[in-house]
A = this chain, B = another copy of it.
């Protein structure tokens, strides 16, 4: 893949075009610090979008769901899909409501998914697991053939995607014509992980695994999920 994302009729940002990023690294940063994407399809001529856990395998986005899911089966069947990831980083308070806005990173990936073939499914599921719960696969038993068979794993190439980065600037231009004694600024928002909660049926004295601590540290580092 090239380091630049192509500008196409699907990916060219139409509003706030100066916030568009076309470097692939920006896209991968957003993907790698997200737990889910909001996945949209067209169903019976209407849009429908659901949150779906994600992973990344090189230049592909991975998603998975039940083989019994109508939504996933449609995607597996080749209906076009878009996957939107938003990291809301704060609220920008300008000196007018009109110029106020959100501080965010957003990636929208467009594509058609391909079904991961049976012999590659376990490796792809482990990649998804590593993305969502790093290190966890070593804590638990292996997947069974039945579990693998019950899961659809889909691959969407990170080939056609737009990235909007509205995070960098503070709210004002040099001369916005407004009264500077009105406070302007930004209220930062971030995601944090709390203390892990042990389920009541876990054997007494079982410690919280290192993997869970590591997942919490990763959220703390990115401030996103």
Which residues from chain A sit less than 8 Å from chain B, CB to CB? 9-10, 14-15, 35-36, 38, 40-42, 44-51, 53, 65-66, 68-71, 80-82, 84, 86, 88, 90-91, 93-98, 100, 102, 104, 106, 108, 110, 125, 129, 132-133, 136-137, 139-141, 143-144, 147, 150-151, 170-172, 174, 178-203, 206-209, 212, 215-216, 219, 225
A216 touches B199 (CB 8 A): no
> How distant is A138 from chain B, measured CB to nearest CB, in Å?
11
B198 touches A193 (CB 8 A): no
Contacts of A179 in B (CB 8 A): 141
Among A49, A70, A195: residue with most chain B CB under 10 A = A49
| Copies held by the complex | 2
> How distant is A99 from chain B, measured CB to nearest CB, in Å?
9
A-B contact pairs, 9 of them (CB 8 A): A14-B70, A49-B84, A51-B86, A96-B141, A141-B182, A170-B197, A180-B203, A189-B225, A192-B192
Residue of chain B at shortest CB distance from A86 = B51
Contacts of A96 in B (CB 8 A): 140-141, 143, 147
> How distant is A202 from chain B, measured CB to nearest CB, in Å?
5
Contacts of A51 in B (CB 8 A): 84, 86, 88, 102, 104, 106
- Tell me, in angstroms, the Cα distance from A208 to B93 when the chains sit together: 11
- Tell me, in angstroms, the Cα distance from A11 to B70 when the chains sit together: 14
Which of B95, B140, B219 touches A95 (beta carbons < 8 Å)?
A: B140
Which of B35, B139, B170 touches A200 (beta carbons < 8 Å)?
A: B170
Which of B49, B93, B199 touches A47 (beta carbons < 8 Å)?
A: B49
B202 touches A184 (CB 8 A): yes
